Structure 1
Amino acid sequence: MASLATHLSAFVFLFPTGLHRLLRSSSLYLENPSIYRSKTWYFSEPRWKNLDLYALIVALPIASFSEIFIFLNFTGNPTYRFGFFQQSAVVFLFWVLILLIIFRENFNLLHINEGFVFVLVGISFLAEYSVIGKGITGLSGTVYELLGALALICAGCCMYLSIRPWSFFAEFLLSSGLIFKGTWILQTGLSLYTDVFALKGCQKISMVLTKEDADVRCDLEEDGLRGAALMKLLFIGHAIGVLVLSFVSFGLVSSKRRSRNGEAGGPLLAQLDSQTVFMRPNAELELE
């Protein structure tokens, strides 16, 4: 969480992953709601379409080791430094989970219940919640608390899906939560780590930290209060935007599937209509 680049890279992975999950789960649910079951990961065919998964396999260990060997050189705050170690461990944990999912789906080496994997993912989100905004207070801490709330929502959805995997509402909420996490973490990076999008009357968080907890510096107390209110308002705006995007995506998948069913049923309906046309005169003769 130490720079705009970190937040931007998180957005690049979270937003497409959540959107891909939303589209695939919606398609499977609309295909047959009675037999729908949520999956830890929706693999695509052919395999080369799973670019988001392969990117995470490569990027997550790099991000984990980067937080250990690079970012610790810029901080003098022991609490903030310990937070980097925790964040590195959480990122590494998600990487291990992805490897576990891959081995479970592609190789018959691990006979693990998918519900158990959902529990592990939920625990990972809880671990992420415990380290989000570590060593950051004030206005910045408020922004990261909102991000932590999204991690809690994702954790709750995973725990619920481990018990009731047929709940599409929990799957829809989890996918939307990942999209929301992506957009909000980008907003956090722009608002807290850049001068262009910085809050009025406040400065960005500096990479060179003192022994005090990190926070944006505001000229006046009123500027900090106004900045906190503005970030909460932006959070509500992001929530509405993500909700609209999720419903529009579901509607597009539904209309696409309905159009396919219409194309398949068109010739059949035409054949049935032609048969009824020929049957009507015979029926009239029988009545006479």
Structure 2
Amino acid sequence: MLEGHVFLGFGFFLIGLWHLFNHIKLHALYSNSYTSTLWFPFRISRHLELYFIMASCSLFIAMELFISPLHHHPLDPDGTIPSDHLHNFEHSSMALGFLVYATFAMVLDRKCIKAQHELTQLLGALAFVQEFLLIHLHSRDHTGVEGQYHLLLQLLILVSLVTTLMGIGLPKSFMVGFVRSVCIVFQGVWLMVIGLMLTTPGFVAKGCSIHFKEDPYLVKCSDDKALHRAVSLVNLQFSWLLIGVTIFAMSFYLIGVTTGRGYGEKVEYFSLRKEGHCSEEDSLKNDLESQSQKTSMQEQI
């Protein structure tokens, strides 16, 4: 659980930070023609971000089902999923959703599909939907301290989902991309916090303890007073992290805008709608379509 939460959380953090940097830079350089996208090309490799997502998701699935010493055999001899491995398959299914998103996002870009922006946003939204539902309907009984951590995680996933859907109808909105990027960063940080706080005895609230013999990830409190205090501490952690992420995001924005104005290099627009290998092909197709339309009109006359 510790390795999975930290690994997945760090991946979300990196992607969110990369998105935040690009949204701020593009908005500073191209405020009049800014377009919010769900992924951004690298200079060294156009699809490096998507390759990173696919590799990370594949490794996470392998970690959940095969690599961990406890999960060498994810299935029972009769081919069924054992009850104590259901949560591993649920976690793997979350990663599978983002793997599908990244794969088809790359295919749509390579094929130069006209509806690439809308379909990519839809695929991203579906990945967040699956993540939200699998955590909300988790096979583990998320109650008490563990339940509070995952309840707040669901809030972050929901904001990511809503802003991704809003990106379909509001592609020019900087705030949609900015809020989504900050939320993905926060989701990554919160996942890492969950992994550390629920598996490290020294981080457990006073009056509570981890029952390693019963369940290595189960935090129980001695009485209702200790449970109430532990849940309140989780809320405080979330609120303090929210303030910290907000300060970081606003500072990052101010630095990015100041730096962006001094770039002086409006050579390459990283937005998928402006920059890319499809532009020349699209213009050629448009010329051929216009010529065919003119020819048909002349024949009709």
TM-score by length of 1: 0.79
5 Å-filtered alignment, 1:49-198, equals 50=48, 53-69=50-66, 81-105=85-109, 107-108=110-111, 112-132=115-135, 134=138, 135=140, 136-198=142-204
Which structure 2 residue ranges, 5 or more long, are not aligned? 75-80, 265-301
Counterparts of 1:126 and 1:172, CA distance in 2: 20
C-alpha contact (below 8 Å) 1:68/1:85 kept by paired residues: yes
* Identical aligned residues as a percent: 22
Q: 1:244 aligns with which of 247, 250, 255?
A: 247
Counterparts of 2:116 and 2:50, CA distance in 1: 21
Counterparts of 2:27 and 2:123, CA distance in 1: 24
C-alpha contact (below 8 Å) 2:29/2:261 kept by paired residues: no
> Residues 104, 198 of structure 1: CA spacing in aligned structure 2 closer, same or farther, 3 A cutoff?
same
| Structure 1 residue 61 displacement after superposition | 1.5
> Residues 101, 205 of structure 1: CA spacing in aligned structure 2 closer, same or farther, 3 A cutoff?
farther
User: What per-residue deviation string (whole Å, max 9, x for no partner) do you get for residues 214-234 of structure 1?
Assistant: 741112321111010011011
Counterparts of 1:206 and 1:18, CA distance in 2: 34
SS in 1 for 2:222: coil
Counterparts of 1:253 and 1:238, CA distance in 2: 22
5 Å-filtered alignment, 1:6-45, equals 6-45=4-43
C-alpha contact (below 8 Å) 2:10/2:189 kept by paired residues: no
* Alignment-mate amino acid for residue 236 of structure 2: L
Which is higher, the Rg of structure 1 or of structure 2? Answer: 1
TM-score by length of 2: 0.76
SS in 2 for 1:35: coil
| Structure 1 residue 58 displacement after superposition | 1.6
> Which is further off, 55-64 or 220-229?
55-64
* Alignment-mate amino acid for residue 52 of structure 2: A
> Which is further off, 252-261 or 17-26?
252-261
> Residues 176, 80 of structure 1: CA spacing in aligned structure 2 closer, same or farther, 3 A cutoff?
farther
SS in 1 for 2:260: helix
| Structure 1 residue 104 displacement after superposition | 2.6
Counterparts of 2:13 and 2:240, CA distance in 1: 16
SS in 2 for 1:46: coil
Counterparts of 1:111 and 1:259, CA distance in 2: 34
| Structure 1 residue 46 displacement after superposition | 1.9
Counterparts of 1:258 and 1:113, CA distance in 2: 30
User: What per-residue deviation string (whole Å, max 9, x for no partner) do you get for residues 10-52 of structure 1?
Assistant: 12211111111001011111112221111120111022894x5
* Alignment-mate amino acid for residue 102 of structure 2: I
C-alpha contact (below 8 Å) 1:193/1:205 kept by paired residues: no
Counterparts of 1:206 and 1:151, CA distance in 2: 29
Q: Which has the higher helix share?
A: 1
SS in 2 for 1:203: strand
Counterparts of 1:25 and 1:125, CA distance in 2: 20
| Structure 1 residue 152 displacement after superposition | 0.4
